[in-house]
Amino acid sequence: MKLSFDIDCMPDQARRMLGLPDVTPVKEAVVAELTKRVAEMAQNMDADQMIDQWMTAGVQGIGDIQKAFMEQFAKAQGSAGGGKGGEKD
């Protein structure tokens, strides 16, 4: 035997029906605290300093990526050219 029930209700009604707690006040408090902290951080933010940090990190990051790419390229060339009669071990 197979039984099925379709219950049409809102999430808060389902929560009450299942006996789960209402977490709306907690959620609102967390959102209010996060909003306050973001506003404080935005007031203390120095855009010039942040851009300088990003640009410095970006240039260093690009150099590291380029170096790693060239190392991989050299390794690939070495393994591909090893069997063409040049050098033997």
Q: What's residue 65's pLDDT?
A: 79
* The total number of structural domains that make up the chain: 2
**Domain assignment present for 69:** yes
What does the alpha-carbon distance between residue 42 and residue 20 come to, in Å, rounded to a whole number? Answer: 37
How is residue 42 written in tokens? 């935005």
Q: Which long-range contacts (CB under 8 A, 24 or more apart) does 30-35 make?
A: none
Residue-range definition of the domain harbouring residue 74: 46-80
pLDDT score at 8: 93
Rounded to a whole number of angstroms, the CA Rg of the chain reads 30
How confident is the model at residue 60, as a pLDDT? 65
The per-residue pLDDT string of the chain (89 residues; one tens digit each, 9 = 90 and over) reads 999 989 899 988 999 999 999 888 999 999 999 999 988 888 877 777 777 777 776 666 677 778 888 888 888 888 765 555 444 44
Residues 27 and 51 in one domain: no
21: Cβ contacts below 8 Å, ≥ 6 apart: 15
